[in-house]
Amino acid sequence: METSKAMEESDVGILCYISQLPGFRGILKQRYADFIVNEVDTDGNVVHLTCLEPPPQMVEETKECEAKVSDEKMSERKSHEAEMELFRSLAGDSDAEKLESLISQVDSRTESEDSVPHIVLSPDSDKTHRTAVHNFFKQNFKFLVTDTTDGPDASSKCIRVRLDSGGHKNNGRNSKKRKERGEKPFDSRGSSNWPEHLGKFLRFHLYKENKDTQEALGIIGKMLGIQSKSFGFAGTKDKRAVSTQRVTVFKQQASRLAALNDRLIGIKVGDFCHVKEGLLLGKLLGNRFTVTLRGVIADSEDTIKAAADSLGRHGFINYFGLQRFGTGSVPTHLIGAALLRGEWKTAVSMILDPREGERDVIRKAREYYKESNDIEGTLRQLPRHLVAERAVLQCLKKCPGDYLQAMKAIPRTLRMMYVHGYQSYLWNHAASERLQKYGFDQVVLGDLVYCKGDDNEKETVGVNSESNDDNCDDTYDCSHLDETSGTDLLERKNTLVKVVTVEDMSTGNYTVDDVILPMPGSRVIFPTNEIATVYHDLAKKDAINLTESVHHVKEFSITSMTGSYRRVFQKPLDFEWELLTYNDSNKPLAETDLDKISKTGSTNIIKQEEQGKGDEDNDLSDCTELPVCSRNSIALSSVTNEESEREVESEQVSGSNWQETQMALKLSLTLPASCYATMAIRELLKTSTSVAYHKTLNQ
């Protein structure tokens, strides 16, 4: 496949549909608010933003905590007064004033400051006196350290006093072992004065518009003066969407975060509470999607109804969506294939070389590097969000020609996306072959399934968690992900997998809904029917052997990965749909969490809406008892100042957005983590989900 053209679904194995029903026209993500994602937590609760202020109890706890800190600081200052008088008599007024200034700096220093405060005392030619000063600091100000520097003339020296990098108010970068820090351990990610009865993690709901998760947390972290890695979250949400998800941060006060809401643009935080443990990737059941397809044109409403009914009954093929393979013209799976072959220089070139369809500033930076090989100059031009490119260049600057090391310099979760992209490419092709050969209405001999009940364990193989392969704490450019959790944890941990036998066929224990296919790895088994050959034949075409490694770099070798399994057919849960009409292309057709807060001014929106009987504006995720229906009505939502979706630009009529009456289809569905909502939409419309295709629908 050529890398210069836009990637098509067929390039990555997305080939089939379940139903043979006709599709219809509909524009996906014409506006980012047409795609609303609400996380579903591990208890099955849909996560909503309902309150922007901390509860009164948390405000009181914050005041108590601040009062405690203030008292401790006052006590510290009083204890310093006696020592300061001693120092004044030892070193004089001028140096005493310098020391007071230094201690004041140390007390007010924030955890995010890189510079270490210091002072230089007056020149001193008396070695005995300098020794006395050194000893004074060792005995009285243990959080400060001293050394000697040259004075203004040959006969004198100066004592420099600075904050001990392993001591008081330390940010932990060059610290001594924690046990040497004194009785009160200090954690760089939050306050050291933390009430014992409170959970050490503040959990909050993050609402964001047209921003990826890492970008939003980076902005919040910068405002708080803490690093992005202080936050924990269960899954990365799509950028081109409005989403709400849970986030945890270590030892932070709710009032500090709530105070940011007035300054944040396209981001809000709320629903605060303290918990004992931070969130980890994969700690979610899935996501609730509210998707609005605009500009719907169909032969008749019956066509739409038949397609929606079929999606609800039979589901869709659980393909990895296009975003799994990157948004650029160089797909991640092609880079992954190069890595699996051990072609490090080729992989680096694919990451750095000029590519089609990028903004001018990025294209010029890539072309500049290609022509000049000037790493410093290229880094000055490359935008910071190009994480992989910058990491590779910075490594090549230190280790010229070491292309393997340059690949390893990319944050782990991002660099693993390349090999995972290749695994996904094989899986998609295998899933298409499974449908083409055996259809979607029955399980067949040799299929793989998760075991049920009393199956004979001799015929099974254990499934291990894929977390070692797919998850780590590193951050990465989330534009590579679609609207999934960003993780590929196994659907069931420590579950047994088996090959379907003749006996299973006769008992009817398994249905087509149980069929799974492997993501290649050292600990998976393959189906014993014809589908297994798809994996090996495709890999062979790419000069890759799935059972042997041509190099000894474990993280870029499929044989060093355990592998995993993925369900072939997926049915949407709590699936509902509704037909709407609209005249204004800028009018929101679905309410976001923020719309609801703005509209009611209530801090308990969801509870009030549940009490409202038959309110048609209720979010569909709260109306799971409603029947699947077709209602020709106009959605009543408050208009917000949204910007047009970057990738799919809405056609604008100069001076007015008023158009002839158009139809929209609003869908609500819940999917497990790692399932792509775009693949459900594809089954419905029978058209491509590529950004390039949906751009053409606006023209």
In sequence order, what are the beta bridge partners of 153? none
For 20, counting Cβ atoms within 10 Å of its Cβ (0-12 exposed, 13-18 middle, 19+ buried), the class is exposed
Helix (H) or strand (E) holding 202: strand 201-209
Nearest in space to 556 (alpha carbons), one of 334, 342, 324: 342
Mention every residue, 6+ apart, whose C-beta is less than 8 A from residue 3.
329, 330, 331, 334, 350, 355
Question: Cα separation of 52 and 458, whole Å?
Answer: 55
- CA-based radius of gyration for the chain: 30
- The tokens for 489 are 């944890």
Question: Cα separation of 680 and 323, whole Å?
Answer: 14
- Kindly give the residue spans of alpha helices, DSSP state H, lying in 656-697: 677-685, 691-696
Question: Cα separation of 467 and 470, whole Å?
Answer: 5
**Three-class DSSP category at 509:** coil
Q: Which of 164, 212, 238, 271 is catalytic?
A: 238
Where in 238-303 does DSSP place strands (E)?
Answer: 242-250, 267-275, 286-297
Question: Cα separation of 496 and 452, whole Å?
Answer: 9
**Three-class DSSP category at 160:** strand
Question: Cα separation of 522 and 546, whole Å?
Answer: 9
Q: Which residue has the tokens 């009490």?
A: 611
Question: Cα separation of 699 and 695, whole Å?
Answer: 7
* DSSP 8-state symbol, 10: G
Active site residue 473: no
For 225, counting Cβ atoms within 10 Å of its Cβ (0-12 exposed, 13-18 middle, 19+ buried), the class is exposed
Helical axes 387-398 vs 344-352, angle rounded to 10°: 130
Q: What string of DSSP letters covers 409-437?
A: TS-HHHHHHHHHHHHHHHHHHHHHHHHHH
Mention every residue, 6+ apart, whose C-beta is less than 8 A from residue 408.
395, 415, 555
Question: Cα separation of 524 and 538, whole Å?
Answer: 18
Catalogue the active-site residues: 238
